[in-house]
Each structure stands twice: as structure tokens, then as C-alpha cells.
Chains A and B, each alone.
Chain A
Amino acid sequence: MKLLRNIVDSIRPHFGKGGKFAKFHRSFEAFDTFLFVQGNVTRRGSHIRDAIDMKRTMFFVIIALVPTLLFGMWNVGYQHYMAIGADVSFIDQIVYGLIKVLPIVVVSYASGLAVEFLFAELRDHEVNEGFLVSGMLIPLVLPVTTPLWMVAVATIFAVIIGKEVFGGTGMNILNPALLARAFLFFAYPAYMSGEVWISGTAEQLDGISGATSLAVLASNEGHMLPSLFDMFIGTIPGSIGETSTLAIILGASILVATGVGSLRIMLSVVAGGLFMGGVFNLFAVNDFMAVPAYYHLVMGGFAFGAVYMATDPVTASQTGIGKYIYGVMIGVITVLIRVVNPAYPEGMMLAILFMNVFAPLIDHYVVQSNIKRRLRRPVKAQVTI
């Protein structure tokens, strides 16, 4: 640690005023604070702060994402070797997954951070750390077969149009990671649905169905559905990080325990999904409507979206009651889109983006009603006295 500190300090003058690389001092600052907590302290008056700044907060989310990432890597290898009928060891499966997943993660971070640094230098502000999480979320919501250049294009689009246009981290209306996925979904539909979920099977496809459970249901073939246990553990085809509800629950407990993710939102999304699923069960005219409501929680990106996407502190509702409304609406709309519109089997993405747009409106009315309620108070007090 000491060594690292010394290295950073020794190159600092080059980035200061008049230094050789003075132009890049924003980038230098970003790396410095990435490695160490800032040494600047307030000089007068007292401020109560704990050591958690935004970079540390983001790290907790990254830690919470690790279970889904590891499971996703293994599942990529597992699905591949199962599809080609080879019986290989656990290590082989992990290695295959690593080779396929790691480049996507690297490309996502490289392209996104390049844009972040560019804008930080252009606008002369600190490099925002929001992308640390987005850069990890983007690979996890994509199919493993997505071409790398598409990952880069989508990431750049999402960071510029989703975030920098509005003024950078903390100003965005839409969740950048979901925007990247939505961009790919509409721009290159052939690469985001159909037989894209299992890596390396395009050549020997005979008789292999790589359909996700949602696609199975959308084509009204409920008997082809994997078992509930498989869907919960996650040994099914799907986007890299979304398949395992177990790993996601593990991550959710980390988020809730550290106070980073909002339990209110997670639970209300689940409640909304269960409610809408139950309503559809009443009119079960096809397999998608008849599937038990709790199946929706383990299929597709529902769990992943509820835990990591809906709880994004920037784009979610800020008020307590607002969070309940926001969460329930996400759950309801997700199941609604899934069941009613078979063209968009993955309703979670669209539902969250949709409610992102409405979050400020929800907050506005919650705050207004609170103000109204409190304005009425003194009148009552006078009467009672």
C-alpha cells in the first residue's frame, strides 16, 4: 500500500498546474481517489460524514454482483458442454465461461470508461464513478453470444445518450445499463432473441433448443418448461447474469445488509409481479397465463431486474411511499408485458425503463400530498385547543 501511495505521489507533479500532463489532471485524480480515500478534510465547522463516499458505495454493488457473475460464467460453460453433449469437469466449464464472458466485461468497461474520461476532461469535472456498476451490469444482462463491437456501441450509446446528455452521473433519467440492453434489443433484434443464449452451438444446432423459459411460454409450449428447481438454481439458458435466482438472492442480501439497495423496492416489485401473475391465473387461457405466479419470479430477468436494476438510487423513486408505488408498478407491468405481448418476452427491461421515466412524477405527488397533509395540521390543533 505504501509503495502504491508513493508511486501516485511521485507522479502527481506531472499532472498539477504547469506539469507535463496538466491536461489530464482529471483522469489522474480519478485514479488516485479510486485507489485511496481522499485526504482532503473540511477546515472549519463540523461535518458528520462516514467513510463511505460514492466510490465505496459502488464497490458494495460490485461485490453484490460477484455471485451472479461467477454463476453466470459457470453456466455459460455448463450450457455449452451440455448442448454439444460433452461430459467435462467443473473446471473446464468455468474456463470456457471465463473465456467467453471476460472479453464482454472488458469491452464494456473500456468503452464506457473511455467516454466517461473524455467527458470529464471536456467539461473539466471529476470522473464520475457511476460507470463502475453500469460497466458490470451491462455484460450481465446480455446474451453471451453478443458480438463485442455491439457491446461497445451499446455501451457508448447508453453512456452518452443515457447519462452525459443529462449532465453525468446522478442526473440520468434512465438506467444506463438497461438502456444499453434496450438499444441492442431494438437495433439488432436478431442478436437478442431466438437461438442466441448458448455459446458455440451455431454450427451443430440439430435438436438443441436454446430457448429461454420465457420464449418457451410465449410459444405456448408450457410442457417444455424447465423444472422450478432448475430455474431457481439457474442451470437454464438466458442472459449471463440473470438465470440464477439463488445467486441473485445472495447478492440482494449483501445489498440490503450494507444498506446500499432498497429492500422496499425489491419486495414491492416481487409483490407486484405476484399480484399480476395471480390475476392472469384467474383467466388462464394459454400456458403463459396459466403458469403459477411465482414462476414469474424465477424466469428471465425478473429477479435480476428487481434486485440490481430497479433499486438504482438515481433512477428509482426517492420517497418512501413512492418506492412502494414504483416497485409494485414495475412488477405489474413486467408480467403484463410478458403475458400479453409475446413479441417482447422480456418485460422486465421495458417495465423498469418505463417506471424510471415516471419516478420523478411519483415523487412529486408524494411530496405534494405530504405538504398538503401537514398544512392541514395547525388548523386542527387550534380547534382542539
Chain B
Amino acid sequence: MSDTNNMPLKEPLFSAKNKKLLTDPLGKENPINVQVLGICSVLAITVQLKPSLVMALSVLVVMGTANVVISLLRNTIPPRIRIIVQLTVIASLVILVDQVLRAFLYDVSRQLSVFVGLIITNCIIMGRLEAFAMKSKPWPSFLDGIGNAVGYGWVLLAVAFFRELFGSGTLMGYQVVPNIFYEYGYVNNGLMILPPMALITIGIIIWVQRSRDKSLIDIS
């Protein structure tokens, strides 16, 4: 990666500070559970595990790259038009990802439909560019982007796991609930396929997380 060039040599690549950039977004700085950003896509595409996985990877690629690009450009971007520049970078990357998906994963790309394009408006990406990449060096920015994308991704996958398992009895498209269950009267839960259940699942994740880590409870 070219971004290592700018690294001052005295600081190790994975110093404690840099590690925190990577791990904080997984837990107590999680973009979905704690900052409650990027919820729309979680509600829309988590019916099945496979599209969620693809979505998580797409966001990972876009976010990691966009953070690095903006960080490299940060001293040349005029402050007044910075949002437009950020959007241009994200949009170009999203179009790239969309084209790749269409070429190699056409079915999943059709399932995700407009939501790949809507990565452009994903608040998490804009938020990280504005809050972090605009004032940090490329390597920390890269770690920050990857960390946040993984934080977004694991919630996405967790929600999709429960929704696909209980809603369709499958995982990644393969049936995991044995047929004998159905013979004895087990029925897939239709509510799991409806968007409200995604909201409730995220709610439960947030609930569990906050009852384990009391420092996350805000009084507002």
C-alpha cells in the first residue's frame, strides 16, 4: 500500500493508538449500535446472509479506499467544496464496486438493487471522511475506515444471520433447519422477513451491548 510511505518511521505500524482505531468501532464506537448511522441499509438488505456479506465487503472496500484517497488529498481540498470532493470520490468508488458486482455476482447485485448505489449516501462513510480522514495521515485513516466498515459489517451479518435462520430456515441459501422439524409442525417465522424485525434485532443487540457496558448508556 502506498499510504505507508507517509508514515513517520518512529511510530510502529500497529501502535496502541492505531490498534484502537481498528478495534474501537467494533464495540463502544460502533457506527450502528452506538452512533446509530447507516440504519436504512441494515433494514433493507439483511433478509439473507449472502447479500449482507456482499454489502459488508463492498462498504469495506469503498470505505478503506475513500479514507485513504481523501487523506492523501486532504491538504489540497479547498474547505468550501470539501463535501463535493468527498462525494465525488465515494461515488466513483461505488460505481466501480457496482460494476464489479454486476460482472461477477449478477444475482446478488440484483438482490441488492439500489442499495449498492445508496452506499454513496451511507452516513458512516461521509462521517468518517469528514471527522477523521480530513485531518489524519493515510495509514491511520485506512485503519479507521477498515475498523468502521468491519464494525458495520458484523452487525449487518449478525442481523442477517438471525433473520435468515428464523425467517427462511436457511443460511447463505443452504437449508439448515432439518426437514424433520417441519414435519413436526415447525414453521418459518414470517415476521423475520419483514423490515420491522431488523429494527427489533438491532434493538436487541444494542440492549445487550449497553447492559454489558454501562458507560454507553446516555441520559439524553
Contact = CB atoms under 8 A, between A and B. Distances in A.
B191 A186 contact: yes
Given A161-B200, A165-B203, A165-B207, A191 B190 contact: no
Interface string A181-194: 00100111111000
B187 interface: yes
Given A147-B185, A149-B185, A165-B207, A189 B200 contact: no
Given A147-B185, A149-B185, A187 B190 contact: yes
A342 to B, nearest CB: 19
B55 interface: no
B86 to A, nearest CB: 37
Given A161-B200, A165-B207, A187 B192 contact: yes
A188 B187 contact: yes
Interface in B167-187: 185-187
Contacts of A188: 187, 189-190
Contacts, number: 22
B100 interface: no
Nearest to A191: B187
B40 interface: no
B36 interface: no
B207 A186 contact: no
B187 A186 contact: no
A360 B215 CA distance: 29
B190 A189 contact: yes
B216 interface: no
Contact of A186 (B186, B194, B203): B194
Nearest to B203: A165
A144 to B, nearest CB: 16
Nearest to A161: B200
A183 B191 contact: yes
Give the interface centre of A149, A150, A186, A189 by most chain B CB atoms within 10 Å: A186
A191 B191 CA distance: 13
Contacts of B185: 147, 149
Interface string A261-291: 0000000000000000000000000000000
B65 to A, nearest CB: 39
A112 B203 CA distance: 21
Contacts of A183: 191
Interface string B188-208: 011110100000100100010
A187 B192 CA distance: 7
A7 B186 CA distance: 43
A231 to B, nearest CB: 30
Contacts of A191: 187
Please give me the 5 A-B residue pairs with the lowest Cβ-Cβ distance, nearest first.
Answer: A187-B191, A186-B191, A187-B189, A187-B190, A188-B187
Interface of B: 185-187, 189-192, 194, 200, 203, 207
Given A187-B191, A190-B187, 4 more contacts: A149-B185, A165-B203, A165-B207, A191-B187
7 contacts: A149-B186, A153-B189, A161-B200, A165-B203, A187-B191, A188-B187, A190-B187
